[in-house]
Chains A and B, each alone.
Chain A
Amino acid sequence: MNGFLYDIKRTLTGKFTIIIVILLVLITGLTAYSVGVTSNSSTPGSVAIVMPYMNDTGHNLTISDYAINGYGAPVSGLKISSQLENFTGNGTTYVHIKGTTGSNGYFNTTVPYNSSTNYNYNIYLSYNDGSSVGLRMGVGFSNGHMSNYSECCIQQSYSISYSHSNGYSLYTANVREKGDGSAIKTMIFNRNYTSSTAPLHLYYNTSSTFNTNVYPNSNLNTKNVTGYGTMKSAEYTVILPLSIRNNGEYVNLYLANGTSGSTNVAPVAFTSFLYVDNNPGIALQGALVTFFGVLFVPILGIFSAYFYYSKDRASGIIESVIVRPITKGKLFLSRFIGTSVSFLAGIIIALAVADIILEHYTGAFISAGFFTEMLAGYLIEAIAFAGIIYLASQFIKSQGAVLGTGIGLLFALGFMWQVISGALLFLLKIKSTTSVYSKDSLILNAFSPSYFPYILADYYKNAFGTVTAASVGINIYSVIIIGIVWLLVPAGIAFYFTRKRD
């Protein structure tokens, strides 16, 4: 085998690589566990959202309850205990209705009906196994129309709304997309859909404040919104292209009939919800960013570089390898690439384990984007620290001095960097309340690899404190440049010197 690939293989199969992977998995796994057990969102599979529908069929009231879970799939075997309150002029009468949803998620029943009175229909739910899902909801019925759906106690990050207009009886439920924790799947159900129901066009936009001014009469200028598609059936699944960057924004959905493509349409339904990204990666990242990002990853980078390269170089042991058929440059690269690949493998495995743990507790996986963002941030950070140690080893000839330098770096660029950059800004007499301060502290953060994951996360969320990341210069270009600099510059300079110096 080629000496270069051969040496990489040896690095990767070494004991130290296994230790790295185990440590990474332990720390991220434990972090994910603590994030998971403290999260208050239920597993989507055990959530039940019920959409009651009542229809006047002359002498009877047809009641049809349709239940879905947190993924939008029909829930069978859900026990529904409900009561129909009949408000008449001389008091209220009650009809108790009990039943269980069938495999298609429906529970249908019929009760005698008197059109001159108003009805309230209240529902209590529990699963067949006896566990309560804690939901209580109600719907009113008067003048032959269903109205004002009210819900109580739907678990965090699920939502449902009801609107009735122009003959449409529409539920809009926000549920989870299996396999993508950050995606919100919006499901629209038309409970009185028939084959002659006119299609509805869906438009949406986002706003930073709650939008009250559209429903249902004012015309909607379709230039201000984005068209999503057309609903031509009883059920319509919508996954809006929202990302963590929309976290905290209001999402407005407009359903309108009429010609698709016309400039002004009259919405028949409107719903607005606050977008809260329920990606468990947010909580994981928040938990990892301090200990893991500022202390553990630097230690990982520094000590790996020491064990894979500096120790052998400073002790002269590497000479017994240099005399083999391989060049100094290739030997350097093979060790460095081996180190980097072991970080890559370790972080991927660790995040994957964390992902599985989080899914177990929250029902959602870290999104692919978040996974990639965390992987890139910590990988580049670890490689940067390793690169700095590889560089230091070109000039420092004793093992003790290399280790000392590493520990110094851990202090300076790791957990003391905030103090150091704060002191620098103080010496530069920049007031901490000014916007210059936050910009300058950001610039200083770019000078420590420990803070690269922060910058990347800010970019990914497009939020830097209370302002957008873009407004302080965090954009795709600056992030890529800083990343590439940390990835290649320390190692590149070290590579140059190893080929030129003894």
Chain B
Amino acid sequence: MITISHLSKSFNKFKAVSDLNLEIKNGEIMGFAGLNGAGKSTTIRAMAGIIFPTSGTVSIDNNDIVREKVKASKHLGWVPELPNFEVNAKPIPLLKYYGGFYEYGAGELDKKIKELMEEFGIYNYRNRKLKYYSQGMKKRFSLIAAMIGDPDNYLFDETLNGLDPQGVKEVRDIIINLKKDGKSVFLSSHILSELQNVADKIAIIKNGQLIKILTREELVNLGSSGIKIHITNPDKGVIDILSSFGETSLTGDYYFIKKGGNQDPAGINKELVMKNYMVDYIGRENETLEEYFLEMVK
């Protein structure tokens, strides 16, 4: 369980985070969404004990991260936004170093390291220096480094970001498994939809301030589908046609029809093609979530 209470952090005069209050319960995944520079990493770094809060507190399983740092850190795993490790190190010695800060019996740590590395598919690369690891492998190593102490609370800073679809799925599964094990997870992202399928709640931060906490139900409603269309030869007439299927908007090159009414993509496609429009993309999308998000944090 993680409790953030009245957390503020300023850099000189600049307030990166102001008066943030959040609670992440055991077995809960809390998403943390905000645009770049909103204060997500700052919040997470203060939660991890890397930087000191200007005011307010963070407690990990009821241990204050500043005043009871050792106890609090024992129960916390942190995955940084960018993997940053001793480049010349090999994974096993480095994990042994990290693992040495926790209470492991003889041989237990070696076993744990092997298990985790196998689980994350990098055991075969155990003799390779970290600097020769690919981005994906580095990210996996970061996850292992966070899990080495077997903590009950996790901070993931943009961990899904920059992964290929396969990687996203894998990490998502890991996070969901952590939840199943009753761990509390705090996962930030600058893309709301990335959090949608994994988070129980999403806290939205803008300019260092919490502006809303979306619950699962709200997410489901917001996240319901609309239809997204791309036309290679659009003109003014398109909006008229599409409006007959529902409320239509144009974002960039894409048309979007909000949900409701008769929304069969095949029917819409047929209608457009008959009017000599060339449709190169049409599909159900969760655009509204992102739209909603962008609207909110603008």
Q: How far is the CB of B19 from chain A (nearest CB, A)?
A: 19
A322 touches B49 (CB 8 A): yes
Stretch binding the partner chain, chosen from B94-102, B194-202, B255-263: B94-102
Q: With an 8 A cutoff between CB atoms, is B241 at the interface?
A: no
A317 touches B73 (CB 8 A): no
CA distance A45 to B97 in the complex (A): 52
Residues in B neighbouring A327, C-beta threshold 8 A: 69-70
> Which residues of B in the span 162-199 have a Cβ within 8 Å of any Cβ on A?
none
Cross-chain contact of A319 among B69, B77, B80, B102 (Cβ < 8 A): B80
Residues in B neighbouring A129, C-beta threshold 8 A: none
Q: How far is the CB of A277 from chain B (nearest CB, A)?
A: 48
A324 touches B101 (CB 8 A): yes
A322 touches B50 (CB 8 A): yes
Residues in B neighbouring A319, C-beta threshold 8 A: 45, 48, 50, 80, 84
A324 touches B98 (CB 8 A): yes
Residues in A neighbouring B145, C-beta threshold 8 A: 320
Q: With an 8 A cutoff between CB atoms, is A321 at the interface?
A: yes
CA distance A397 to B185 in the complex (A): 31
> Which residues of B in the span 31-73 have a Cβ within 8 Å of any Cβ on A?
45, 48-52, 69-71, 73
A323 touches B100 (CB 8 A): no
CA distance A3 to B69 in the complex (A): 12
Interface residues of A, count at CB 8 A: 21
CA distance A321 to B69 in the complex (A): 13
Q: With an 8 A cutoff between CB atoms, is B204 at the interface?
A: no
A323 touches B84 (CB 8 A): no
Cross-chain contact of B101 among A6, A501, A502 (Cβ < 8 A): A6
Q: With an 8 A cutoff between CB atoms, is B85 at the interface?
A: yes
A316 touches B98 (CB 8 A): no
A502 touches B51 (CB 8 A): yes
Residues in B neighbouring A317, C-beta threshold 8 A: 84-86
CA distance A323 to B77 in the complex (A): 8
CA distance A10 to B98 in the complex (A): 11
Residues in B neighbouring A3, C-beta threshold 8 A: 70, 100-101
Q: Taking CB as reference atom, which chain B residue is nearest A9?
A: B100
> Which residues of A in the span 320-362 have a Cβ within 8 Å of any Cβ on B?
320-328
CA distance A315 to B145 in the complex (A): 18
Residues in B neighbouring A326, C-beta threshold 8 A: 69-70, 73, 101
A1 touches B100 (CB 8 A): yes
> Which residues of B in the span 136-175 have a Cβ within 8 Å of any Cβ on A?
145, 149
Residues in A neighbouring B71, C-beta threshold 8 A: 325
Q: With an 8 A cutoff between CB atoms, is B78 at the interface?
A: yes
Q: With an 8 A cutoff between CB atoms, is B76 at the interface?
A: yes
B102 touches A325 (CB 8 A): yes
Residues in B neighbouring A322, C-beta threshold 8 A: 48-50
> Which residues of A in the span 123-182 have a Cβ within 8 Å of any Cβ on B?
none
Cross-chain contact of A325 among B45, B80, B97, B101 (Cβ < 8 A): B101
> Which residues of A in the span 293-324 have a Cβ within 8 Å of any Cβ on B?
312, 315-317, 319-324
With A323-B73, A502-B52 in contact, do A10 and B78 touch (Cβ < 8 Å)?
Answer: no
Residues in A neighbouring B77, C-beta threshold 8 A: 323
Cross-chain contact of B97 among A10, A500, A501, A502 (Cβ < 8 A): A10
B84 touches A324 (CB 8 A): no
Q: How far is the CB of A414 from chain B (nearest CB, A)?
A: 28
CA distance A65 to B102 in the complex (A): 75
Residues in B neighbouring A320, C-beta threshold 8 A: 80, 84-85, 98, 145
With A6-B100, A6-B101 in contact, do A324 and B85 touch (Cβ < 8 Å)?
Answer: no
Q: With an 8 A cutoff between CB atoms, is B74 at the interface?
A: yes
Cross-chain contact of A10 among B73, B84, B85, B100 (Cβ < 8 A): B100
A1-33 vs B, CB cutoff 8 Å, 1 = contact: the mask equals 101001000100000000000000000000000
Residues in A neighbouring B149, C-beta threshold 8 A: 324-325
Residues in B neighbouring A323, C-beta threshold 8 A: 48-50, 73, 76-78
Q: Taking CB as reference atom, which chain A residue is nearest B84?
A: A316
Residues in A neighbouring B70, C-beta threshold 8 A: 3, 325-327
Q: Taking CB as reference atom, which chain B residue is nearest A327?
A: B69
> Which residues of B in the span 99-140 have a Cβ within 8 Å of any Cβ on A?
100-102
With A3-B101, A6-B101, A10-B97 in contact, do A324 and B52 touch (Cβ < 8 Å)?
Answer: no
A461-502 vs B, CB cutoff 8 Å, 1 = contact: the mask equals 000000000000000000000000000000000000000111
CA distance A325 to B149 in the complex (A): 9
Q: How far is the CB of A12 from chain B (nearest CB, A)?
A: 13
Residues in A neighbouring B80, C-beta threshold 8 A: 319-320
Residues in A neighbouring B86, C-beta threshold 8 A: 312, 317
Residues in A neighbouring B101, C-beta threshold 8 A: 3, 6, 321, 324-326
Residues in A neighbouring B48, C-beta threshold 8 A: 319, 322-323
Q: How far is the CB of B171 from chain A (nearest CB, A)?
A: 19
Beyond A322-B49, A326-B70, list 12 extra A-B contacts (CB 8 Å): A3-B101, A6-B100, A10-B97, A10-B100, A312-B86, A317-B85, A323-B73, A325-B74, A325-B101, A326-B73, A326-B101, A502-B52
Q: List 20 A-B contacts (CB under 8 A).
A: A6-B101, A10-B97, A312-B86, A317-B84, A317-B85, A319-B84, A320-B85, A320-B98, A321-B97, A322-B49, A323-B48, A323-B73, A324-B102, A325-B101, A325-B102, A325-B149, A326-B69, A326-B70, A326-B73, A502-B52
A→B interface (CB under 8 Å): 1, 3, 6, 10, 312, 315-317, 319-328, 500-502
* Pairs A-B, 10 closest by C-beta atoms: A324-B101, A502-B51, A325-B74, A325-B73, A325-B70, A323-B78, A3-B101, A327-B69, A323-B48, A319-B50
